[in-house]
Amino acid sequence: MIIVLKNGVERAQTENLVEWVKSQGLSAHLSEGQFQTVIGLIGDVSSIDMELIRGLSIVDSVTRVSEPYKNANRKFHPDDTVIEVGLKDSLKVNIGGESNFAVIAGPCSVESKEQICEIAQAVKAAGANLLRGGAFKPRTSPYDFQGLKGDGIELLLEAKQLTGLPIVTEIMDLSHLPLFDEVDVIQVGARNMQNMELLKALGRTDKPILLKRGLANTLQELLMSAEYIMAGGNRKVILCERGIRTFETATRNTLDIAAVPVLRELTHLPVIVDPSHASGMARLVKPLSLTAAAAGADGVMIEVHNNPQAALCDGAQSLTPEQFAETLIAVNKVREALKQ
Amino acid sequence: MIIVLKNGVERAQTENLVEWVKSQGLSAHLSEGQFQTVIGLIGDVSSIDMELIRGLSIVDSVTRVSEPYKNANRKFHPDDTVIEVGLKDSLKVNIGGESNFAVIAGPCSVESKEQICEIAQAVKAAGANLLRGGAFKPRTSPYDFQGLKGDGIELLLEAKQLTGLPIVTEIMDLSHLPLFDEVDVIQVGARNMQNMELLKALGRTDKPILLKRGLANTLQELLMSAEYIMAGGNRKVILCERGIRTFETATRNTLDIAAVPVLRELTHLPVIVDPSHASGMARLVKPLSLTAAAAGADGVMIEVHNNPQAALCDGAQSLTPEQFAETLIAVNKVREALKQ
Amino acid sequence: MIIVLKNGVERAQTENLVEWVKSQGLSAHLSEGQFQTVIGLIGDVSSIDMELIRGLSIVDSVTRVSEPYKNANRKFHPDDTVIEVGLKDSLKVNIGGESNFAVIAGPCSVESKEQICEIAQAVKAAGANLLRGGAFKPRTSPYDFQGLKGDGIELLLEAKQLTGLPIVTEIMDLSHLPLFDEVDVIQVGARNMQNMELLKALGRTDKPILLKRGLANTLQELLMSAEYIMAGGNRKVILCERGIRTFETATRNTLDIAAVPVLRELTHLPVIVDPSHASGMARLVKPLSLTAAAAGADGVMIEVHNNPQAALCDGAQSLTPEQFAETLIAVNKVREALKQ
Amino acid sequence: MIIVLKNGVERAQTENLVEWVKSQGLSAHLSEGQFQTVIGLIGDVSSIDMELIRGLSIVDSVTRVSEPYKNANRKFHPDDTVIEVGLKDSLKVNIGGESNFAVIAGPCSVESKEQICEIAQAVKAAGANLLRGGAFKPRTSPYDFQGLKGDGIELLLEAKQLTGLPIVTEIMDLSHLPLFDEVDVIQVGARNMQNMELLKALGRTDKPILLKRGLANTLQELLMSAEYIMAGGNRKVILCERGIRTFETATRNTLDIAAVPVLRELTHLPVIVDPSHASGMARLVKPLSLTAAAAGADGVMIEVHNNPQAALCDGAQSLTPEQFAETLIAVNKVREALKQ
């Protein structure tokens, strides 16, 4: 970490800061130029809060030389992490690594046995290898449908038994964890990306965790949240880019597609893309899925519905099974083309 | 709610949508112009998800005519809500309402009995009427200090006993709720503004809740989160503007000072400002506190530290007790000037 | 245009607004509900300023039902615009339309005859069909190199004579227009996207204009700037997505890849992508070029340098000719795959 | 400037970069740690483009130790700049400096002699010391009213003769400069903040320039644009905060009030605030004007209209003369209170 002091800082203030640095178990290398004094911090600076130093009245700028994440850092783990997904009853799927591509598909919300089983069969037939479906739903309004909760998970398990597809579903509070025993992949939604207590609890499980990027979170913060899970011992983290909040309103969020190659450089963890939530519009799901494949993502997560009536609303950002199948064919063409 | 359809939508699709609207218990008023068809929804549309309708392929735009929040809405509750704060052992403070101004002050983290008691006495002497201090700390990095937790709350209660100041401290997970029994005001941090399960749990208590705006959340979303708490029966919600995330990096966040008059128009709930977190720099706390007073806020929340050594780091965005006293004097001058 | 009034607006105020609407040559359709009054504006509302109406104290919200752009609107011009590029001395290239793909390549700045000619030959050999190079350079700092200006255009023309590649270069002020006589495509940079006087002047030429999206401009604003040019009679506008400014700092800007399919829906004008400026990093140019192809863009604009020494700096976001050739091969594979 | 290299960079690449640094007339101080190599650049780095270095494949991060602006930098000019405004026919007004406060008021657009003269007299009576009015109007749509142009300036000059108020009006292209001969302060609008050719031309005049911050521009970029003007010899630059573009849609833009104290720290130039454009709503102009005074701004620029009919639209973000007078009284109370 490099601290650049302001012009004209008094000697005593500089020494005070150097003393403090040493009290944190670090060495400080002081370099005084004609105009500027620079302090280099040597040692394990991962527990030093940059923001706090930046706020000191004598400090001009602070630069972190090494990333604050370790377990998630590709520097220390150069090989791609491959996460084996699938509990006893289900097919096994590898997420991450050169030759694998995860296709996670299913409805926004689990509504009934018929619905989830029908969609599960349809998406499996089209080539999906994991089934998603919302049991606990994070809604902006308390008056919106909040999901079937535990019953929704039961229905997902029935669909899993029927199709063999491992299931992915979102957790909203750590008190619900016991209900997720037979869930194959636990999803942490964008709104909970920095729910640190939840992340810590998930770090103590051995479940694969699908961690979605928060609406206003940087890639480094996403990696720090992965680090929260990994610091607890659970190294099975799948990152998901799902769009960030910007001034543009033509799409619900702005898909940050460059996040895919950037994350793949910074981390060994698998990176997938959710084009459904990024755009909020069914007709953009296909082109954005293609960009995910082109950018080198390890998979996509796509909303699919089966009910043309309900689809009026639930289907706003969802594809029909036919559109989903067509999207997958095109995604595979892009993947094949880039392999050659 | 007004739905504008795209050009050239087929009759059957329009009817399908109208049918669906009716199935939701609403009436639909169809108005077909030369170029555009517009559907007006009549009835209680608060449970209709705008985003989902906006995503429909036949829809051009959707406008909500009435706000989706009710309990928090000034239209239905024109008078300012005044929240009486202070449990048995403490002084009583009113937050909200013309003549009241809450001054919440204290350290970023509770560190020791000496520290919190010394600061509590200093901020009380300077004019603070509530004591804040972090017991559970939401940190970006799992390697940063996570707070004294339950012990921190105990220390806050000792400082309360000493000074009579009601205490404000942050909750990070609903499982910790029993530890907050004697806490006067429970704070929900920016990262948890949309932790819906936590909000629901707090809605079942009768504690005043200080709800901070999330980094990338709109004012309407802040009000919807307040609505989550209020829908559970707890109407004691205090809103807090603490800066939003933008492209500007000169300050940690961008204080959205217009949020104060806008919120005061939209809601009857008290609105306070946190200049310490908004700027991340001690030297901006005074001018930003003055803007809060000038904008008509119901109070400010300010970080104050007492230890010049530790202040090197913990004090980055904190004032000394002297600076805090000086800030309050200026804030009061502005408030007085605007009363005349 | 639909205007929703606030609750409790007085009759006289409503009538006042309706009168004003009529004075603008429009009809107003008033619909008074139990809670809300809605005014529908009928007629040509393209000259009505939404922002101004939104600011009226009696107005709750305003929704534009029809887009404010006409010439650029696909509704009125369903077929893709194909722009023939190339003046007397050069090859002819079509930009826009199903089977065409523009590859615009060249250095950030034109530096010397040798440099631009060498790069022009290299990018032509690799498959580029237009040559770009900066003669006038918009730099944030007045102390940075401002380009060779008129001399730079002369050098581009020499490279064009040598290779036959039509040239694309940026204009920074309308007073320079006479220097662009033999330039094939005039570029308007992001910083000038709303330099309305420049746009109007370009609208009076018959040159193809490559219009870059501003850092903080919405897609609708981009289309309105295209409309400025088109309203003057020049219909040859090529739109360019080059990244927007967001809170994320891992890349220089955030490439809004969804802009490609969204723009292709809204307009008939060609849409290209500039991955070099969007990311600011050479190593991201290839993956982002692939996403452009996957998203259905009509072309890419890529920075290429030839001098490994100078490349230390000028090459920060530029590819070597070899990297560029490799990128194009992959881009073509994606395009081929999606044609099948 | 401090360049941190990536892990595992080859010796030859490092030396290559060091050689390049030296070729730019700078010294390089190489410091090789166990994990990281850091290069410190010594000398005048103001012409080094940080973005370009940041994009190099061997570079991890770049930090500028000294600001890239000199003329605008308070470090080198600690005293507040006071700009004397007012040509032959007008009153003299000082902008900047402890005891001065500029109140610039007038209509959005100049419409007629009666209109501008009536408003000029009204705002003078209420305490304004400069008159603003748009002659050239930057409009998003080519179909919107573009201003009276040269005739508008003539009308402003008549109002100046009548009242003695110096006039402020916006320039949109450098070719219009001759029309601004008798204009007291030339305004550069937000959309033209990085119209570098215009800034350079204004740098060659001796007119006070009111430079508005661009919608997506950082404070450093604003200062660099001021530097463009100052580098040409014109040191009379007035900075104006007028809101930035964020995700929040409750106000037209987000007023970055912290920009005032931050700019006053970084620069000696006067800083004023435009609450009318920041919010887009007349009813927010008063509270935001108060925050400007509380934050220590050197003035405010406020839209005032006089025509209740036209006010339906033009007045969306404008105050009536009565509201303006009331606002000024409150602003002065805050200024008085803070002087004591």
Mean pLDDT of D32-57: 74
What size, in residues, is chain D? Answer: 340
Return all residues near C211 (Cβ < 8 A) that are at least 6 apart.
C188, C193, C222, C225, C226, C229, C237, C238, C239, C240
Query: Which residue in D79, D44, D77, D47 sits closest to D224, CA to CA?
Result: D47
Token couple for C206: 């018959």
C4 in reach of chain B (CB within 8 A): yes
Say whether C63 and B35 touch across the interface (CB within 8 A): no
Scanning every residue of chain D, which has its alpha carbon at the shortest distance from the alpha carbon of C20? D312
The mean pLDDT of A86-102, rounded to a whole number, is: 91
Question: Helix, strand or coil for residue D322?
Answer: helix
Q: Is the pLDDT of residue A57 over 80?
A: no
Shortest CA distance from B75: residue in chain C: C7
Query: What count of residues does chain C have?
Result: 340
Q: CB-based contact (8 Å) between A175 and chain B? A: yes
How many Cβ contacts (< 8 angstroms) between chains B and D?
Answer: 123
B221 and chain A in contact, CB less than 8 A: yes
Average pLDDT over residues C16-44: 78
Q: What is the dihedral of CA C229, C232, C234, C238, to 10 degrees?
A: 10
pLDDT given at position C140: 83
What pLDDT, on the 0 to 100 scale, is given for residue D310? 52
Q: By C-alpha distance, which of D256, D328, D244, D246 is closest to D285?
A: D328
Contact C36 B4 (CB under 8 A): no
Q: What percent of chain A has pLDDT over 70?
A: 96
SS3 call for D273: strand
Q: Given CB atoms, is C144 within the 8 Å cutoff of chain D? A: yes
ipTM of the complex: 0.91
B162 vs A: CB within 8 A: no
Sheet (strand B37-42) strand order: B27-32, B37-42, B2-5, B59-63
The runs of H, that is alpha helices, within D256-320 are 259-266, 275-279, 282-295, 311-314
Distance of CA B309 to the CA centre of its chain: 32
Judge whether B249 is closer than 8 Å to chain D, CB to CB: yes
Partner chains of C (3+ C-beta pairs under 8 Å): A, B, D
Q: Which of D29, D38, D62 to mutate to test the interface with A (most CBs of A within 10 A)?
A: D38
pLDDT for position C313: 47
Specify the higher pLDDT residue, D333 or C19. D333
Joined tokens for residue B294? 């000038």
Q: Out of B36, B38, B65, whose CB is closest to C36? A: B65
Q: Higher-confidence residue: C20 or C173? A: C173
Q: What's the Cα-to-Cα distance from A332 to each of A256, A329, B218, C334, rounded to whole Å?
A: 21, 5, 38, 11
Q: Per-residue pLDDT for B33 more than 70?
A: no
Rg of the Cα trace of chain C?
A: 23
**Residues near D113 by beta carbon (within 8 Å), at least 6 away in sequence:** D155, D158
Amino acid at C260: V
Non-local (6+) Cβ contacts of B299 within 8 A are B95, B100, B101, B102, B103, B104, B270, B272, B273
Q: What is the pLDDT of residue D34?
A: 60
Q: Do B290 and D295 touch (CB under 8 A)?
A: yes
Question: In this structure, what DSSP letter does residue A134 have?
Answer: B
Q: Which chain D positions have a beta carbon within 8 Å of A249's beta carbon?
A: 249
How far is it, in rounded angstroms, from Cα B256 to Cα B218?
Answer: 11
Residue A185 tokens read as 């992949």
Q: A243 in helix, strand or coil?
A: coil
DSSP 8-state code for residue C267: B
Beta bridge partners of B103: B300
Rounded to whole angstroms, the Cα distance separating A29 from B202 reads 49
Contacts of B33 in chain C (CB under 8 A): 40, 42
Report chain B residues whose CB lies below 8 A from the CB of C245: 247
C-alpha separations of C87 from C165, C240, D135 in Å: 10, 21, 39
Q: Is B332 exposed, middle or buried (0-12, 13-18, 19+ CB in 10 A)?
A: middle
CB distance B63–C36 less than 8 Å? no
- In our burial notation (b when 16+ CB lie closer than 10 A, e otherwise), range B275-296 reads bbbbbbbbebbbbbbbbbbbbb
Q: Residue A127: left (phi > 0), alpha (psi -120 to 50), or beta?
A: left
Interchain CB contact of A216 with B (< 8 Å): yes
Phi/psi of residue C210, each to 5°? -95, 110
Q: Is the pLDDT of residue B171 over 90?
A: yes
Q: What is the pLDDT of residues D245-287, one digit of tens each?
A: 999 999 999 999 999 999 999 999 999 999 999 998 888 999 9
**Is residue C6 very low, low, confident or very high in pLDDT (cuts 50, 70, 90)?**
confident
- Is C294 within 8 Å of chain A by CB? yes
Tokens of B81: 């809500």
Q: pLDDT band for position C12 (50/70/90)?
A: confident
Nearest to C104 by CA among C41, C184, C44: C184
Contact D282 C57 (CB under 8 A): yes
Distance CA A102, CA A236 (A): 15
Question: Which residues 6+ apart lie within 8 Å of A11 measured at CB?
Answer: none
pLDDT at position A65 over 80: no
User: CA C30, C31, C37, C41 torsion: positive or negative?
Assistant: negative
CA distance D28 to D43: 9
Q: Is residue C57 within 8 angstroms of chain B, CB to CB?
A: no
DSSP E strands: which ranges in A193-313?
A: 209-212, 237-241, 271-273, 299-303
Q: Do C245 and D216 touch (CB under 8 A)?
A: yes
Query: Contact, A120 vs A162, CB < 8 A?
Result: yes
D partners (3+ CB pairs within 8 A) are A, B, C
Helix, strand, coil percentages in chain D from 3-state DSSP, rounded to 5: 40, 20, 40
- In sequence order, the 6+-apart residues with CB closer than 8 A to the CB of C171 are C136, C177, C180, C186, C187, C188, C192, C198, C202
Residue B49 and residue A109: Cα distance in Å, rounded? 14
A143/A105: higher pLDDT: A105
| Residue labelled with tokens 């752009």 | C69
Whether A340 sits inside 8 A of C333 (CB atoms) is yes
For residue D40, give the H/E element and its range: strand D37-42
Using a pLDDT cut of 70, give the percent of chain B over it.
Answer: 96
pLDDT reported for residue B313? 46
Q: Does B143 touch chain A (CB under 8 A)?
A: yes
Nearest C-alpha of chain D: how many angstroms from C260?
21
| Contact status of B22 with chain A (Cβ, < 8 Å) | no
Spatial contact of B275 and B285, defined as CB atoms under 8 Å apart = yes
How far is CA D223 from each of CA C224, D194, D238, rounded to the nearest angstrom? 29, 11, 11
Q: Helices B113-126 & B321-339, crossing angle to 10 degrees?
A: 30
Inform me whether the C-beta atom of residue C247 falls under 8 Å from chain A C-beta atoms: yes
In D, which residues are within 8 Å of A61 by CB distance?
Answer: 63-65
The model's pTM is 0.92
Q: Which residues of D touch C56 (CB under 8 A)?
A: 312-313, 315-316
Mind listing the pLDDT tens digit for each residue in A185-223?
Answer: 999 999 999 999 999 999 999 999 999 999 999 999 999
pLDDT at residue C35 in the model: 61
Contact call for residues D246 and D213 (beta carbons, < 8 A):
no
Lowest-confidence range among B12-16, B110-114, B206-210, C72-76? B12-16
In terms of C-beta density within 10 A (0-12 exposed, 13-18 middle, 19 or more buried), how is residue A276 classed? buried
DSSP-based three-state secondary structure for C238:
strand
**B216 and chain D in contact, CB less than 8 A:** yes
A149: left (phi over 0), alpha (psi -120 to 50) or beta: left
- Residue C32: partners with Cβ closer than 8 Å, 6 or more residues away: C38
For residue C238, give the nearest of C204, C270, C274, C202 by alpha carbon.
Answer: C270
For residues D135 and D128, the answer to whether their CB atoms sit within 8 Å is no
Closest in D138, D141, D283 to C57, CB measured:
D283
Quick one: closest CA in B to A15, which residue? B312
